[in-house]
Amino acid sequence: MSGNIRLLSDTLARAKSEDRAALIAYLPAGFPTVDGGIEAIKAVLDGGADIVEVGLPHSDPVLDGPVIQTADDIALRGGVRIADVLRTVREAHTATGKPVLVMTYWNPIDRYGVERFTAELAEAGGAGCILPDLPVQESAVWREHARKHELATVFVVAPSSRDARLAEITAAGSGFVYAASLMGVTGTRESVGAQAQDLVRRTRATAAGRGLPVCVGLGVSNAEQAAEVAGFADGVIVGSAFVKRLLDAGDQAAGIAAVRALAGELAEGVRKR
């Protein structure tokens, strides 16, 4: 293992060695603009996030809640393209030296070309991809090209996932496993719930021997929730709360300051496990 997939693994291992969870942030590319999105992502990383997921905006984001759907719509109406997503990855990674992944639905990659996308993502310094709607049993072509270009393949598991499916996913995935804390779409929640802790336990049991980290997303929006999840997960994933800070800001400068501040608050939270 080498390249930026190693950087991703080393970052998660370092957080574990510091007896804390990693903070993983999500923001879509092209939101509020391509340049503004790059600055927001750099601010989140500078503010305390260990890893960032760059969303590839999609016209039918079926797993995303209204906050991220709104941001995706703004990005798409602004004309964002895959080239802009890759530029966002490159500039965020170059500026911060931290791992940057792309989170995307399968259709845009399939249309763009798997080999072309994986090659260009690796060249941009990307650490890998999170593919929420790609079934593991249909992922062989993707994984072949991801391995060729030393990219992580992160699959998503849910509370409804049976143990046999968890075992299949942990055997095929790399980097980490994305554990969705509850059934439903993305968005902030009043509480993350006990389902997430049980899912992490079951996922780890199937990944015995591989040591694949399990990171929890969907619903975390503040330092208290981050601390709760950090008590049982290897990483805490926060998306909608960052997007909402940008949506609620009066201008770009205020939005940049708001997401940097939230990253700092959440970074303190994951250290209170």
Residue 78 sits at φ, ψ, to 5 deg, of -80, -5
Residue 52 near residue 92 (C-beta atoms within 8 A): yes
d(CA 121, CA 149): 9
Contacts of 212 (CB under 8 A, 6+ apart): 170, 173, 174, 175, 176, 177
User: Which whole-number Å values give the CA distances from 59 to 40, 102, 155, 184, 187, in the listed order?
Assistant: 22, 16, 21, 18, 18
Residues with catalytic roles: 53, 64
